[in-house]
Every structure is written in structure tokens, then in C-alpha cells.
Amino acid sequence: MDETLVEHWDEQSANWIAWVRRPGFDSYWTYREDFFALVPAPGFATLDFGCGEGRVSRDLVHRGHRVTAFDGSAGMVEAAREADPEGTYLVADAAALPFDDDSFDLVVAYNVLMDVDDVEAAVGEAARVLMPGGRLCLSITHPITNPGERDSPYLESTRFSEAVVRDGLPMVFGGWSHPLSHYTGALEKAGLLIEALREPAWKDAPTPYHLWLRARLA
């Protein structure tokens, strides 16, 4: 696959917007209250890291956070701006953020890190823009789903592209299947200490679908 993941998500932006904005359709509608229980109270400044069409930003603003948001896809950012004209939404690369060191006390990366080309660079940038003691809260697709869903060896990092049509909505999901240690290794290297981990149940599935972490910059 030659295209970057930002190119992939930009091409999919219209499908993604229809997917996530259909009420009750995507798992975020089920999960968001429990995920936000892991997110610290509003503080100085919050960064929505890989904001997509902006649903997490809008929910953070609703909860009192002062939010700056970015995504690599211009199509996603345009939709986020349309939905929230007062908000601050930038087109930027997770691996080279246009923010000074120590700019935020909270970074929220909801279902982004399995969709970036370079996890270590993205987590390094999240840590760089965090103040000491600041938090990174993230959700990823649980790596335990990799072998079954993607037919890939658990310990290998494998790029995937998966076309789905559900209830008439088409979507091509693109990203990486990484083992858990790929993410925790990036946190460790960036000086981010895990202080909370959740494996929320997904309906009556035998294994969790998402993994949530809160990490603190030492």
C-alpha cells in the first residue's frame, strides 16, 4: 500500500462522516460516557489529537474543555469546522505538530493511534506538547482483536485495509494491527506513565473491542 494513512482517511472522509453521524450507529455512541469518565476535568488547554470530523471535540467543549483540535485530513477538518464554527480545527500531521512545547495539560487521542503511520512519532509529539504532569487519554482498537479480525500474527505490525458495508453505509477502514507493546513502548519512550487502563465490554462479545489508557507525563 503506497498511500499514506492520511490520504486514505481523507478519501474516506465522506463515508466516515456519514458513519459516525448516524445516531446510535458507531460504537462511540455506546462508549463515550464511560470513556469520558477516564478523562480529567477541564484544565488549562485540551488538544483533540486526530479529531476527524470533530465529534470528540464537540463533546469535550460540551464538558467545559478549552479545545484545540487537528487532523491530517482536510476533508475531516472542513466538516469539523462546519459543525462547530466557533471551534479551532487545524490541518496538521500528528508526527510534526504546529504547537510549542508544553502547550496543553491534556491530549485526547480517540481511535487514532492505530490509524497513524508512525505511532512512536505521534506519541512523541503528544508528549512534547504536554506540560509536565499533563495527561494523554487514548482509545485504540484492542490489539487482541488483531489475529481474529485481520488474520495477522499478533506480534507483527501489519497494515490493513478493510471494506465494510453496514446497514447501507460503506466504509473502508485503514490502519495498522500492532501488538499492545508497540503502543506501550512508544509511551515508555516518551516518558508517559500509564495510570489507568480499561477494557470496556462490547455487547456480549467474549473479548473487548477497545482499549483505553490514561498516561501521565513524568
Ligand X SMILES: C[S@@+](CC[C@H](N)C(=O)[O-])C[C@H]1O[C@@H](n2cnc3c(N)ncnc32)[C@H](O)[C@@H]1O
| Binding residues for ligand X (CB under 6 A) | 5-6, 9, 20, 50-52, 55-56, 71-73, 76, 93-95, 110-112, 115-117
Nearer to ligand X, 117 or 149 (CB): 117
CB of residue 136 vs ligand X: minimum separation in angstroms?
14
CB of residue 1 vs ligand X: minimum separation in angstroms?
14
Gap between the Cα atoms of 143 and 161, Å rounded: 16
CB of residue 37 vs ligand X: minimum separation in angstroms?
17
CB of residue 118 vs ligand X: minimum separation in angstroms?
7
CB of residue 212 vs ligand X: minimum separation in angstroms?
12
Cα 173 from chain centroid (whole Å): 14
Tell me the angle at which helices 55-62 and 28-36 cross, rounded to the nearest 10 degrees: 40
Amino acid at 128: R
Nearer to ligand X, 139 or 215 (CB): 139
Nearer to ligand X, 59 or 105 (CB): 59
CA torsion angle 79 171 71 118 (round to 10): 180
Please list, residue by residue across 70-96, b when 16 or more beta carbons sit within 10 angstroms of its beta carbon and e when fewer do.
bbbbebbbbbbbebbeebebebbbbbe
CB of residue 24 vs ligand X: minimum separation in angstroms?
15
Nearer to ligand X, 6 or 187 (CB): 6
Nearer to ligand X, 95 or 194 (CB): 95
Gap between the Cα atoms of 40 and 93, Å rounded: 25
Answer for the pair 84, 57: CB distance below 8 angstroms, yes or no.
yes
Nearer to ligand X, 7 or 156 (CB): 7
Residues comprising the chain, all counted: 218
- Residue nearest ligand X, CB atom distance: 52
Counting Cβ atoms within 10 Å, is residue 159 exposed (0-12), middle (13-18) or buried (19+)? Answer: middle
